[in-house]
Amino acid sequence: MNTRSSKYIGLFIALALVLIPTPVSPAQPQTAASPQRSLADVLETITPAVVNIAVRSRDPAESNPLYNDPFFRRYFNLPEQRQRMSAGSGVIVDADKGYILTNHHVVANAGEIAVTLKDRRRFTAELVGSDQATDIALLRIDAKRLTALPFGDSARLRVGDTVVAIGNPFGLGQTVTSGIVSALGRSGINVEGYEDFIQTDASINPGNSGGALVTADGRLVGINTAIIAPAGGNVGIGFAVPVGMASAVMKQLIEHGEVRRGRIGVAVQDLTPDLAEALGIGETHGAVVGSVDRDSPAARAGLQAGDVIVAVDEHRISGSADLRNRIGLAPVGSQVTVEYLRDGSRNTLALRVEPEDGNGNVSSMPQALEGAHFQDAAGKVVVTGVEDGSAAARAGLEAGDVIVAVNRRPVGSTADLAASLKEVTGTLALDLFRDGMRLFLVVR
């Protein structure tokens, strides 16, 4: 064979080696990539579950009963009562029963609530119940062919997860925006509220309140409720109530028409690094028991001042606000399992949640403070409401005030406040914080 022929044979062999496919090893089977569902397809399925809510309410300036008397109105030549219209959003969560979750502030003081579906059907909604502390309300409509949003697990959300906000911004109609989870466990927006907000940069504007925050696979993880808007519009900081909290409120609203909050009888504070070092523990999260109310569930179960609560029903407690949320939303009469640290050892006990006295009202209220409502909040006493025209209102007390002392005697719970008020025989002096400033309110 000459040299030229041998070169062609070598070239043919080389080409054959390149072109012949390499056999696939049985140990490494080839798999086909599963097709990923597009966001547009997901939205097409879930957007019918998000509704527009129109609320008709009367002007609060004309709440005097005399305004309802036609002779009084005619005699003083008063104009007809004005009606205010406001718009928000809601989420259908039970298609069979017509239940719709929204915000308390969307339907507060509503005279009439109208719900418009994506297919333009319009219904008058019944208010099942509303809870100001969590800003959650539940409506019901009598309608067929509804679409409900499935619940996701808000406890499993992570910063960076993709989320979509669906609502009715500025009354324009249904709008969809997307973003990510920016932070979790946000609080401090409303001092007397129960807060565990999901923060997102998905655009949320006025009118989005009560709308849905959903994951990329179409599951409801939050009810959009608040924005930080210095200029009146979205600046990339929005907040949603986790669906875990909203569903707990919904169950109580369905059963009782209101949220019946419980207590275990402890005043707590956040576990800070300095406090953890002083207590000689390695934990970085938890709630430190500052005091235990006498004859309370906590006292009967054996909790003591200085114990560090680290978990409730196997849910890790991040701080005092987290503990307050867990206990405050637990059904009254239910049993919770508390895990705590004492003297370097980890212990567990079970205790029963009992109702708050008078739903947060302090018994033996002095006449000068009648009309005020109080609630425990992270080792302090918060004024949750003051009735218009009441003695407490005339004394200058306001909702949101945080009372820290009565006649110079520190108070850390409503039980402390009640005990201190019983001992007051003359002038009442309240040390309190209002809008970040410390005030001294003298009540006679």
Q: Which pLDDT score is estimated for 277?
A: 81
Cα separation of 348 and 363, whole Å?
33
> Which of these ranges, 112-126, 174-188, 240-254, 369-383, has the smallest mean pLDDT?
369-383
Residue 86: partners with Cβ closer than 8 Å, 6 or more residues away: 54, 55, 57, 106
What is the per-residue burial (b if ≥16 Cβ within 10 Å, else e) of 195-234?
A: bbbbbbbbbbbbbbbbbbbbbeebbbbbbbbbbeeeeeeb
| Residue 56: strand, helix, or coil | strand
**What mean pLDDT value characterizes the chain?**
79
The two three-digit tokens of residue 13, written as one number: 């062999």
Q: Is residue 359 pLDDT above 70, yes or no?
A: no
For the question of residue 161 being annotated catalytic, the response is: no
Percentage of residues of the chain with pLDDT beyond 70: 78
Nearest residue to 329 via CA among 443, 440, 247, 421: 247
| Residue 16: strand, helix, or coil | helix
Higher-pLDDT residue of 35 and 138 is: 138
Q: Is residue 20 pLDDT above 60, yes or no?
A: no
Active-site entry in 105, 178, 247, 390: 105
Cα separation of 196 and 137, whole Å?
17
Q: Is residue 427 pLDDT above 50, yes or no?
A: yes
The two three-digit tokens of residue 82, written as one number: 């004005």
Residue 203's Cβ-side half-sphere holds a number of Cα atoms within 13 Å equal to: 10
Active-site entry in 209, 296, 320, 420: 209
Q: Which pLDDT score is estimated for 30?
A: 42
Q: What is the 3-state secondary structure (H, E, C) of 360-409?
A: CCCCCCCHHHCCEEEEEECCEEEEEEECCCCHHHHHCCCCCCEEEEECCE
Confidence at 198, pLDDT banded by 50, 70, 90 = very high
For the question of residue 105 being annotated catalytic, the response is: yes
- pLDDT (average), residues 139-167: 93
Secondary-structure percent of the chain, ordered helix, strand, coil, rounded to 5 = 25, 35, 40
Confidence at 60, pLDDT banded by 50, 70, 90 = very low
Q: Is residue 159 pLDDT above 70, yes or no?
A: yes
Q: How many CB atoms lie within 10 A of CB 40?
A: 8
- pLDDT digits 0-9 by tens, 297-330: 998 989 988 889 999 988 888 888 888 888 888 8
Q: Which pLDDT score is estimated for 62?
A: 46
What are the helix (H) ranges across 67-181?
A: 70-75, 104-107
Cα separation of 138 and 249, whole Å?
9
Q: Is residue 357 pLDDT above 60, yes or no?
A: no
For the question of residue 41 being annotated catalytic, the response is: no
Active-site entry in 104, 130, 131, 135: 135
Burial class (CB in 10 A: 0-12, 13-18, 19+), 353: buried
Nearest residue to 90 via CA among 125, 57, 59: 125
- pLDDT (average), residues 13-30: 41
Strand partners of residue 224 = 240
Cα separation of 85 and 318, whole Å?
40
Letter for the amino acid at 131? D
The two three-digit tokens of residue 330, written as one number: 């637990």
In eight-state DSSP terms, residue 172 is S
Q: Is residue 188 pLDDT above 70, yes or no?
A: no
Confidence at 61, pLDDT banded by 50, 70, 90 = very low
Q: Tokens 């406090």 sit at which residue? A: 275
- pLDDT digits 0-9 by tens, 262-290: 888 888 888 888 888 877 888 888 888 87
Q: How many CB atoms lie within 10 A of CB 370?
A: 13
Q: Is residue 189 pLDDT above 70, yes or no?
A: no
Strand partners of residue 21 = none
Cα separation of 373 and 438, whole Å?
20
Q: How many CB atoms lie within 10 A of CB 408?
A: 9
Q: Is residue 7 pLDDT above 60, yes or no?
A: no
The two three-digit tokens of residue 147, written as one number: 């679409």
